[in-house]
Amino acid sequence: MSKAKVLTTEQLEQFETEGYLIIRGLFRKEELAEIEEVFEEISQTAVPGYFEPELDRAADDPLKRYPRVMHPHRFNDKAMRYMLHQPVLAVLRELYGEPALAAQSMFYYKPPGSRGQALHQDNFYLKVEPGNCIAAWTAIDAADEENGALLVVPKTSQHEISCPETADEQESFTTHYIKPPKDKTAIPAVMGKGDVLFFNGNLIHGSYRNRSKNRFRRAFICHYANESAVRIASHYRPLFKEDGTIVYLESNPDGGPCGSEFETLYPH
């Protein structure tokens, strides 16, 4: 039996032409409360390889106290469940025109005062082929210009993957920077709690610093590949089907047009 459609023609067109789409209120209040609880608990611990706060350096940089959590689905069942959140997968199925495979989860606390992430393109890191990755960026707190909302550069989703320049380390906690084309500007994606922003792996995006005094800007961020993809960078294996079954795509070898040194030093 075919599944009921969740996106309108206009929404599909927006994703095609602009490269991103915000779906309002895709996570319910109780679900958001559960996600908050999971990551509050994680923030009180250390999980080697996935969440490694450096408490002695927290006074200099709020991200040392609250670094991003990498791949929480690999050690937390609830994170796995939310990476495979049915309403998100239903949207992805329509954006891809086929089912999605879940490749990565992350959680950003982005406390007040913390640096942002310089503009970049996700498929530079994920190397999904053939096809592309799509991110589902869920606002756990309302996000706006003051607390460092995600920035998107509309219509860059058709651009080729470019080789990064060096980011301004005063403003970005990551080291890569992709300069937007001259005729394009980054705009903030202003979002409410529980809204989800979908964007494809070529779209140039990033975020500014959290300039607020006391507002975290937490986000649960997952990356997906189309089910027909054959290869992905090794950092993202294994992947998961909608029903949670494990899938091993081939490992996309390091390198590509920008050389191999980028890949191993700076996983996304």
Of the ranges 1-9, 81-89, 160-168, 203-211, which one interacts with ligand AKG (CB under 6 A)? 203-211
Q: Does 201 bind ligand AKG (CB under 6 A)?
A: no
Exposed e or buried b per residue across 146-159, where buried means at least 16 C-beta atoms within 10 angstroms of its C-beta? bbbbbbbbbbbbeb
Of the ranges 23-31, 163-171, 201-209, 226-234, which one interacts with ligand AKG (CB under 6 A)? 201-209
Q: Does 128 bind ligand AKG (CB under 6 A)?
A: no
For the chain, how big is the Rg over CA atoms in Å?
Answer: 17
DSSP 140: S
Q: Does 69 bind ligand AKG (CB under 6 A)?
A: no
Closer residue to ligand AKG, CB minimum distance, 76 or 117 = 117
Closer residue to ligand AKG, CB minimum distance, 38 or 219 = 219
Please tell me the distance from the alpha carbon of residue 7 to that of residue 231, in angstroms, as a whole number. Answer: 28
Closer residue to ligand AKG, CB minimum distance, 117 or 156 = 117
Return the ∠ at Cα 38 (arms to 36 and 42), rounded to 5°: 115
Of the ranges 33-41, 116-124, 154-162, 234-242, which one interacts with ligand AKG (CB under 6 A)? 116-124
CB of 219 to ligand AKG, least distance (A): 5
CB of 183 to ligand AKG, least distance (A): 22
CB of 54 to ligand AKG, least distance (A): 19
| Two tokens, residue 34 | 């559960």
| Closest residue by Cα to residue 53 from 39, 70, 65 | 65
CA quadruple 209, 214, 215, 219: dihedral sign: positive
What residues from 211 to 230 belong to the interface with ligand AKG (CB under 6 A)?
Answer: 219, 221
Cis omega before residue 130 (within 30°)? yes
Q: Does 205 bind ligand AKG (CB under 6 A)?
A: yes
CA 132 to chain centre: 14
**Which string of x and - marks every residue 141-180 that binds ligand AKG (by CB under 6 A)?**
---------x------------------------------
Return the ∠ at Cα 253 (arms to 172 and 248), rounded to 5°: 100
Binding site for ligand AKG (CB under 6 A): 108, 116-117, 122, 135, 150, 205-207, 219, 221
